[in-house]
Amino acid sequence: MAANDRSNAEIAQLEARVSTLEQLLEVYERSVLEQSERLYAEQERMRLQTTLLESQGEASLEGVLSVSVDGRILFANRQLAQMWGVDRPVIGAKAYRETLRSMAERSADPDGFFERTAAVGDERESSQEIALADGRTFDSYTAPIRSQEGQLLGRVWHFREITALKEIGRMKDEFISAVSHELRTPLTSIRGSLDLMANGVMGSLSTESMTLAKIAQANCQRLVRLVDDVLDVEKIEAGQLALRLEVIGLESVVEQAIESMRPFGAARCVDFQIESSIQGARVNADSDRLIQVMENLLSNAAKYSQDGATVLVRLSRRGARLRVAVTDWGSGIAPELHGQVFERFAQIDTPAARKAEGTGLGLNIARGIVTRLGGTIDFESEPGAGSTFHFDLPEWEPGESAEVAR
């Protein structure tokens, strides 16, 4: 009986165990099913994403090429093959070097292109313009491809054709230059005629005729200045501003500029004063261009000053550089406009009555000239308190073998 009881109890226990196992199995089965469904969904999502990425890459107006660190083609779109005129690289093939080689052959400088481009392991991103042998120009951008953990996986390139863009830019410059040159001839005779009349060379005019002649003369001068400034800007942009460099005393050049601007200041009841602690210091520069820079700074300072104000020009030494600072106590420049001050046609906050005085190119030209002379230009300004524009130029140090004349 006891034995029967035991076996009955064992059977019951076993049954319970089996049932538990069955339940577990069921849970397990369900979980496997769920997991494989999830996996399947994940796979679908990945495939969709890959398709999406590929069609996005395919639909790009830019030529796209990406390669793995071991030189396998990860992606290359049709646009890449088309714009470079090469066979479309097979995705997955270890064909990185031959792809680049065939692209290099189309470039105007095949060796240079290959050298600059071939380093997949390079960690930097960069962009450059590429000239092609057939005259087209591409803009290229390249960056490393990294895993989310930061491991370097490969490199991607984007190429965009900018031939037309460059052509338009060149045409614009040429057009401006041609127009400006063409304007000079008629302006010469207009200005000459007006000057002869307004200066009384042709005999006395009636008061009203004289007023008209003076108005025409002043506006003609403004036009001449504008044309000159436009041509200067164009020369600076093209890197063709010719300089006549000579070793000159900075103080005497600044004084010369101040003297030439005195009438301009006087007409606005503004006085120019100079303070110098750099007597005899010299710079290797073009004096005419330096005077042009000074005249631009001085005329701005005078324009933005109150009647009866003083504009102070300070010359000082800053290490190996000489600083010229022009300070006015005028209206100043609002902080939000500080970024535009040296840009072209950036006349800001000009009192309406004085708007017509400048061309809006002066500071842009000043920056161009100072930069060409190896210097820097900057300003500080506070609205309502005034502005200080200053430029620094390297002081000229006589060479060891050169004669020292102090």
Partner 1 sequence: MGARRKRRGRALRINKILIVDDDEDIRAVAEIAARRIGNWEVVSAASGEEALAIASSERPDVILLDVMMPQLDGLATLAKLREEPTTAGIPVIFLTAKVQPHEIEAYRARGAHGVISKPFDVTTLPDEIRGILRGV
Query: Residues interacting with partner 1, by CB under 8 A?
Result: 181, 184-189, 191-193, 195-196, 199, 201-202, 224, 242-244, 286
HEC profile for 298-362?
HHHHHHCCCCCCEEEEEEEEECCEEEEEEEECCCCCCHHHHHHCCCCCCCCCCCHHHHHHCCCCH
The structure tokens listed for 127 are 């962009």
CB-nearer residue toward partner 1: 121 or 186 = 186
Name the minimum Å distance from CB 234 to partner 1.
Answer: 13
Element holding 277 (H helix, E strand): none
Start-to-end Cα distance in the chain? 132
Name the minimum Å distance from CB 202 to partner 1.
Answer: 7
CB-nearer residue toward partner 1: 226 or 274 = 226
CB-nearer residue toward partner 1: 243 or 346 = 243
Name the minimum Å distance from CB 344 to partner 1.
Answer: 22
b/e map 65-100, b = 16+ CB within 10 Å: bbbbeebbbbbbbebbbebbebeebeeeeebbeebb
CB-nearer residue toward partner 1: 131 or 210 = 210
Name the minimum Å distance from CB 179 to partner 1.
Answer: 13
CB-nearer residue toward partner 1: 93 or 196 = 196
CB-nearer residue toward partner 1: 133 or 196 = 196
Name the minimum Å distance from CB 235 to partner 1.
Answer: 8
Name the minimum Å distance from CB 212 to partner 1.
Answer: 18
CB-nearer residue toward partner 1: 107 or 217 = 217
Burial class for 135, CB neighbours closer than 10 Å (0-12, 13-18, 19+): exposed
DSSP bridge partners of 272: 311
The rounded distance, in Å, linking the Cα atoms of 260 and 262 is 6
The rounded distance, in Å, linking the Cα atoms of 374 and 286 is 12
Name the minimum Å distance from CB 225 to partner 1.
Answer: 11
How far is CA 128 from each of CA 117, 314, 360, rounded to the nearest angstrom?
10, 42, 32
DSSP 234: H
